[in-house]
Amino acid sequence: MSKPRLLITRRWPKAVEESAMEHFDVTLNDKDIPLDIEDMRHALKSYDAISPTVTDILNAKAFEVEDVSCKILCNYGVGYSHIDLPSAEKLGICVTNTPDVLSDCTADIAMTLMLMAARRAGEGERELRAKKWDGWRPTHMIGAKVTGKTLGIIGFGRIGQAMASRCHFGFGMKIKIFSRSQVSAELLKRYNAEQFSSVEALLSESDFISLHCPGGTSNRHLINASNLAQARPELVLINTARGEVVDEVALANALENRIIKAAGLDVFDGEPSINPVLMSSPNLVMLPHLGSATRETREEMGFRALENCKAFFKGETPLDKVV
């Protein structure tokens, strides 16, 4: 019996690609560049399974094809806002993701950004590399203390909880959260956390905000000029969720006018393009979407995608089925 045809849209760690080839008739994207709409339309007609990433365009137009061969999109990543789920479901295509395996590393990057932004690490490194440092002095590059401060977490899924664990138990931070669904009393008690009913209220009560909510239309510009105006002037904002969650023009304005103190971004709206307004913000730390970028996690993500795909073709319900 022939193996299902699987397109892997971006290069994976070698160990995972080798495992994929044992179970599937694999086509690799050797150019390792994002696929456009026409590429995806062709792929939907040519393969039994596709493993896309956040860089691939799978909007409603991409699904406007006839004679679809693809039966499953085993997404490489936990977020799937780049996939138009109603269109996939209409064509009878199963969609899976890879939760759990990247929670720790994404929380680690959020923690990295929070410390860097609070302690002005990016500015300090640029000063050293430019050979402009003239020695220690009491008033040089004063930042914000992290230990014991209040952290507001928006989105309290696996990654948000991993962030709460690091900050509460590691840095003695007070945890406050915003989530559209009611968080259980048991879970709140674990972190001595308080749930707020609005983003505005959370911003006004927090020294730091860390975003861990899904992307997509419902959360586009969840952080905007209106609610940033409600924030404490010492606020440090961290985004490792999705770029579209933050209105980047509003954020740049808030940073420039000291409406908030600093920010750290690992994701961007329209990445890999970076909005030019962000480039002139010295109190902004930026990383190139490194949230899950460890060998262990990137391998686990690939193996998890493969397990979902293998289960599907065995006639089983994939562990991480979205639709």
> In this structure, are residues 191 and 164 in contact, taking their beta carbons and an 8 Å threshold?
yes
Of 242, 248, 298, 300, catalytic = 242
Please tell me whether residue 232 adopts helix, strand or coil conformation.
coil
Is-catalytic flag, 271?
Answer: yes
Is-catalytic flag, 242?
Answer: yes
How far is residue 231's CA from residue 300's CA, in Å, rounded to a whole number?
38
Of 200, 256, 271, 307, catalytic = 271
Of 5, 289, 299, 307, catalytic = 289
Which DSSP string corresponds to 39-59? HHHHHHHH-SEEE--TTS-BS
Backbone angles phi, psi at 286, to 5 degrees: -125, 140
- Cα–Cα nearest to 263, from 72, 100, 111, 118: 118
Is-catalytic flag, 304?
Answer: no
How far is residue 222's CA from residue 147's CA, in Å, rounded to a whole number?
27
Q: How far is CA 11 from the centre of its chain?
A: 19
- Residues labelled as active-site residues: 242, 271, 289
